[in-house]
Amino acid sequence: MNKISWSNSIWFFDIDDTLIDTVSTTIPASEEIRKVFLAKYTPEQAMQVKNNFNNIFHLMMAGYRVKNADEWQLVPGGKKAFDKILEDIENHQIRVKEKYGTIKKWSREVFVKLAADKANLSVTPEIVNKAADAYWLILTEQTVVYPHVLELMQIIKGYSRPIYLLTSSDGRLRMDEKGQFDYDPQYSEAFKKNRIELLREKGIIFNALSIGDPEDKPNLNFFQKGLKIAEQELGCPINTEHAIMIGDSFEGDLQVPKERMGFGLVVLFQKDKIKLKIIDDHQIITGNLMEVTRLLN
């Protein structure tokens, strides 16, 4: 196993579902969507929108977790339902696709709009925006920092080593009167910055933050932007052999740093993993981020 020394180590972390339990907080946070709709619609309609929103989110999650064809049976509605929801999401982002060549699949604004469509409600841009804002705010306030994260960060701080956060865009889009969405990378990025700053109150420490607007994971440019921000903050070039990247998705967070950028160590965090697994000289899987400390000199 390749050992990195504490005195040279540079730490990079994904945020959602690596530092904090984002997925589990989405259901309590969706309650805020119901409350926003309650101001204008009946209790039944507001509840319907909330339930539809959660169904969309879980269909997306389930679809994205599929690695082999036989796993489609675990997805509600199967591949057909997943393809349909992706198509619906794309149909609301015609201009985004034209301008950026890709869409923001996880935009909660779009989920809210689709949830309202499904409940046969016509919605204004204001209510869609307000519902998404309330959702993200409560999600961040209620989110749980994973055990061992704060402990690990305190140890890193004890060695006076830097911590950088590399996180995806929240895809904060704005709806027009016709139900089409637009993407302004600066606007979207500013929202996510505010949300992540709130995590300092929960004890999360970081020197700088890089967000996937407009280019997102797993694009090489996303990681190069993060590295550049880190080098600027550090005031010198980074030798990636001393860099450690920690994330919950190999394809999303780790593959590019490991295979294309020469990171010394990548760590796949899997919530339920009991025993540390060494994949090769440069990669481990663990359910306890404190175990990473064992791999440093």
Contact status, residue 244 vs residue 292, Cβ threshold 8 Å = yes
Closest separation in Å from C-beta 247 to Mg ion: 6
- First-to-last C-alpha distance (Å) of the chain: 12
Regarding 16 and contact with Mg ion (CB under 5 A), the answer is: yes
Closest separation in Å from C-beta 18 to Mg ion: 5
Between 14 and 32, name the residue whose CB sits nearer to Mg ion: 14
Between 51 and 142, name the residue whose CB sits nearer to Mg ion: 142
Between 82 and 106, name the residue whose CB sits nearer to Mg ion: 106
Q: Which stretch binds Mg ion (CB under 5 A): 137-145, 149-157, 200-208, 244-252?
A: 244-252
Between 14 and 213, name the residue whose CB sits nearer to Mg ion: 14
Full DSSP string of 179-228: S-EE--HHHHHHHHHHHHHGGGGGT---SEEEEESSS-TT-HHHHHHHHH
Gap between the Cα atoms of 250 and 266, Å rounded: 9
Closest separation in Å from C-beta 249 to Mg ion: 6
Regarding 17 and contact with Mg ion (CB under 5 A), the answer is: yes
Closest separation in Å from C-beta 187 to Mg ion: 22
- Select from 10, 11, 13, 14 the one that contacts Mg ion (CB under 5 A): 14
Closest separation in Å from C-beta 24 to Mg ion: 13
- Select from 109, 213, 216, 248 the one that contacts Mg ion (CB under 5 A): 248
Q: Which stretch binds Mg ion (CB under 5 A): 4-12, 156-164, 191-199, 240-248?
A: 240-248
Q: How many residues of this chain bind Mg ion (CB under 5 A)?
A: 4
Between 131 and 163, name the residue whose CB sits nearer to Mg ion: 163
Q: Which residues contact 140 (CB under 8 A, 6 or more apart)?
A: 195, 198, 199
Q: Which stretch binds Mg ion (CB under 5 A): 9-17, 145-153, 186-194, 202-210?
A: 9-17
Gap between the Cα atoms of 85 and 32, Å rounded: 23
Regarding 32 and contact with Mg ion (CB under 5 A), the answer is: no
Interface residues with Mg ion (CB under 5 A)?
A: 14, 16-17, 248
